[in-house]
Amino acid sequence: MNAGVNIMEIITNNYLALISAIFVGLAAGYLGSFMVLRRMALVGDALSHVALPGVALGLLFGFNPLLGALSALFIGVIGVWLIERRTSLSTESLVGLFFTVSLSIGLLITPEEELLEALFGDLTKVTTIDTLLAVALSILVIWLTGKISKGVVLSTLSEDLAKSNGIKSSKINFIFLILVAVIVALGIKVVGTLLMGALVVIPAITSKNMAKSLKSYVWGGAIAGLLSATIGIFLAASLSLPPGPIVVLVSAVLFVISLVF
């Protein structure tokens, strides 16, 4: 009975955080599956650091850090896309450039007392607006990713194959990077800028160990992301610990379990 009461208390006291984490975990796992497929596993981690200056500005000037993160990420993604089109540099190398510059700026301007929140997230400050945005944008990310999934897969296999099927790889790459930016921004509240990369990578590789088809792999990643976020929030709330590291550790445990398969 006490356990049941505790669970209900956790749900009641953290219901906005829980709803946000469920949808962000689901979308991060789904999108992350395509990122791993495209060998872009580290891009999500690097992009999460690009958001830091935007988060810092939000904390400094009192507006929603999520809006700051989205703005910084959109600027970063557009910069990567434009430079990539005009040079022979890879997406990964350009993201690495923006990552290091943004991290340096973010660390310089983030208020010291707010640094832990920026790096590891703080679900206690999730508002109703944050939750509504998390739900709506997570659903949009899953839907749009599904719509461009054929183009993503074909351009990953072969640019010529994609072109022969009438797929514009440059356009697909840009949309995909925007979707990654959106999910990274949403996930910052859940696990923070420092750990967000894990939320898109670990569920995907967990699913890859067990999946028998592309469809089962993609949705398996989504379910693994959902479970990681949900169980992590419950454990963090019950143990009074920061949610970000706990969510990542739960995700890692699920990966170890998947090795059995």
Residue whose pair of structure tokens reads 């949610």 in the numeric block: 243
What is the model's pLDDT at position 72?
A: 83
What mean pLDDT is predicted for residues 228-233? 86
pLDDT at residue number 253? 93
72 Cβ contact list (under 8 Å, min separation 6) = 50, 51, 52, 53, 54, 55, 57, 102
Q: What is the pLDDT of residues 98-113, one digit of tens each?
A: 777 877 877 777 766 6
Q: What is the mean pLDDT of residues 194-223?
A: 85
pLDDT higher than threshold 80 for residue 19: yes
3-class state of residue 184 by DSSP: helix
* % of the chain surpassing 90 pLDDT: 9
Q: Indicate the fold that domain 2-258 takes in CATH.
A: ABC transporter involved in vitamin B12 uptake, BtuC (1.10.3470)
Give the tens place of pLDDT for each residue, 25-41: 899 899 988 888 877 76
Q: Is 39 helix (H, G, I), strand (E, B) or coil?
A: coil
Structure tokens at 226: 């959902």
Q: Rounded to whole angstroms, what are the CA distances from 228 to 11, 18, 90? A: 16, 12, 31
Mean predicted confidence (pLDDT) in 222-228 = 91
> Of 70-84, 113-127, 232-246, where does mean pLDDT reach its minimum?
113-127
Q: Tokens 């379990």 map to which residue? A: 257
Q: Which of 193, 199, 155 is nearest to 174 (CA)?
A: 155
What's the pLDDT score for residue 14? 64
Tell me the two tokens of residue 164. 């022969």
Per-residue pLDDT tens for 138-188? Answer: 999 999 988 887 777 777 666 666 666 666 667 787 888 888 888 888 877
- Say which range, 122-131, 205-214, 233-242, 251-260, has the weakest mean pLDDT: 122-131
Query: What average pLDDT does the segment 112-136 reach?
Result: 72
Q: Which letter does DSSP use for residue 167 in this model? A: -
